[in-house]
Amino acid sequence: MITVTLADGSQRSYEQALSVGDVAADIGPGLANAALAARVNEDMVDLSYVIDKDVDLTIITGKSEDGLEVIRHSCAHLMAQAVQRLFPDVEVTIGPVIDNGFYYDFASPEPFHEDDLAKITAEMKKIVKEKLPVERFELSRDEAIEFFEEKGEKYKAEIIRDIPQDEVLSLYRQGEFTDLCRGPHVPNTGRIKVFKLMSIAGAYWRGDSNNEMLQRVYGTAWTDKKDLKDYLHFLEEAEKRDHRKLGKKMDLFHFQEEAPGMVFWHDRGWSIYQSIQQYMRVKLNARDYKEINTPSVVEYTLWEKSGHADKFGDDMFSVESENRQFAVKPMNCPCHVQVYNQGLKSYRDLPIRLAEFGSCHRNEPSGALHGLMRVRGFVQDDAHIFCEESQISAEVSEFIDFLHEVYADFGFTDIIYRISTRPEKRVGSDEVWDKSEKALADALDDKGIEWEELPGEGAFYGPKIEFSLKDCLNRVWQCGTIQVDFSMPNRLEATYIDEHGDRVTPVMLHRAILGSFERFIGILLEHHAGNMPLWLAPTQAAVLNITGQQAEYAEKVGQTLKNHGFRSIYDLRNEKIGYKIRQHTLNKTNYLVIVGNKEMEEGTITVRSHDGEDLGSMTVDALIELMNQQIKDKK
């Protein structure tokens, strides 16, 4: 007798072996029609998988994340089959699932064009209508190499040669098309109905620029048309909010080839940067952090001693001077320990909180660079807390409050919390790890915060909490972190005198709230679509005259706003007022202050907000009061 335990805890018994699909049919025709694959114990399998012993079984439908992955993986095969039907000389290489879709790389004698996407889509729809069974079979490594070489698929054969000799490989066949794959897949091609091919790009074979250039086709697949429609709408919104486009349109920053991955900040973008830095400086001071500044170039021996040379050596920029090797710092931690080490410390001095807007550089691959989101030169809102073990919990709790306060002021209240626990390779005793992990968990639990555990994802030197925020499009950005470190203070000989007069090593907490200024500004721009809150806006008000007669009055109004600390300009150009309004609206100016003869005679102004709301006539003092309140409220 075989017992199958279902996801809801119920059980079914069978006298003989049967397939997963048979179990789904036994449960009911509705599930049989919706089933795509299954999890047997923890392994994902096809519906054809035969159950011959007691198992835990979860039937996978398209409504789950697992189901979407199966659909998208199967859709990649569907696309590859369509491509080879239309272009028989094309070889398939790899076709993985990615976030919200899939891609497949093809070796093609001729490059694909955008109009080929429509042809491939039409052929995919034909294959869907054919409802071809998708069948799994196995070959040995050598048999698989021979199979693909006979088909002229040299790329597949090359992939297989890297697989261990004794491994049995699974392949999937649908009609005339066969591909190497772990699976699982949908039972037949008719189960793939909602998809769209998105774009064509170039990609080097195995990501190596020394290899052949391949043709990459991206696609997306969903369980119903509404989900696809929602996703396409999301992409449109994301495109509108792309910080790189906004940066150019709003004249905030630029990049150029002479300094790849390095930001050229323009005055308007630097204004946002400075507003954030000044805000953070006030917050740090209120919470008893000591702001420091450390060198950008440090002898390589320090990075060897700290352990960064072993782990990050390839990502570090280095330079030689007077027969000494130096590195441009990729992070601030070792330098902060050097500041801590100056002078004898007592337990009465702890905790010591050292903060720095630290300029760091990492030699990121050029292909990974992405506007402000991934750069080579960046500044972190970095700080390190040196404390006793008994102080970890209180410091973590205080930091969480700090982080919540900052995120709320920037408009983020939806936060995801994850604790990364001890990895297999680590330093420190299990007892110390137990204490540290418990301190992090207790800090979140005491605040009633739900969190997720990431087993084994902690750093080798200690566990950490990761704080990820959601933007207005529900995209998740990991920004803040607090990490417990037992290793670096010891490696760099940091000590303090405890209450017994003994010299002991402090615990070091690495913490950041924004992460890098550059990336956080990119997130802010996309979250607000460039319409920055007044306290962050590069131009808070623009005074516009209707004719030259009001030029002197407009200049006076603009200067008054400047004298009250607002970032204001006055636009006295000989242009129509409608043109000026449009231009400053596109430039995301928060308030448009319009003055004509009537306003000049009455000593008033007419005000419009950046979203087009007419606030009517008011005095300059009334606008100043309105703006001051808005800045105070961080709106």
Q: Which residues are annotated as a binding site for Zn(2+)?
A: 333, 384, 510
- Return d(Cα 201, Cα 114) in angstroms, integer: 10
- Return d(Cα 501, Cα 499) in angstroms, integer: 6
CB 142 within 8 A of CB 213: no
Binding residues: 333, 384, 510
Selected catalytic residue, list 464, 511, 528, 588: 464
- How many Cα atoms within 13 Å fall on the side-chain side of residue 397? 13
User: Catalytic annotation on 380?
Assistant: yes
Selected catalytic residue, list 384, 422, 519, 584: 384
Q: In whole angstroms, what separates CA 578 from the centre of its chain?
A: 40
Selected catalytic residue, list 72, 179, 333, 610: 333
Write the CB contacts of 332 (distance below 8 Å, at least 6 apart in sequence). 294, 356, 358, 360, 380, 382, 384
Q: In whole angstroms, what separates CA 24 from the centre of its chain?
A: 38
User: Catalytic annotation on 333?
Assistant: yes
What are residue 50's DSSP bridge partners?
A: 19
Selected catalytic residue, list 81, 84, 215, 380: 380
Selected catalytic residue, list 510, 527, 528, 608: 510
Selected catalytic residue, list 268, 345, 362, 580: 362
Contacts 24+ apart (CB under 8 A), 427-431: 427/460, 427/461, 427/486, 427/487, 428/461, 428/462, 428/486, 428/487
Beta strands 452-454; 18-19: pairing state: unpaired
User: Catalytic annotation on 384?
Assistant: yes
CB 441 within 8 A of CB 419: yes
Q: Tokens 């100016």 sit at which residue?
A: 589
Q: Tokens 């069974």 sit at which residue?
A: 133
β strands within 226-328, DSSP E: 253-254, 264-265, 290-291, 297-299, 318-321, 324-328
User: Catalytic annotation on 382?
Assistant: yes
Burial class (CB in 10 A: 0-12, 13-18, 19+), 367: exposed
User: Catalytic annotation on 464?
Assistant: yes
- Return d(Cα 591, Cα 541) in angstroms, integer: 5
Q: Pick the closest to residue 215 from 110, 122, 82, 121 (CA basis).
A: 110
User: Which residues are known to be catalytic?
Assistant: 333, 362, 380, 382, 384, 464, 510
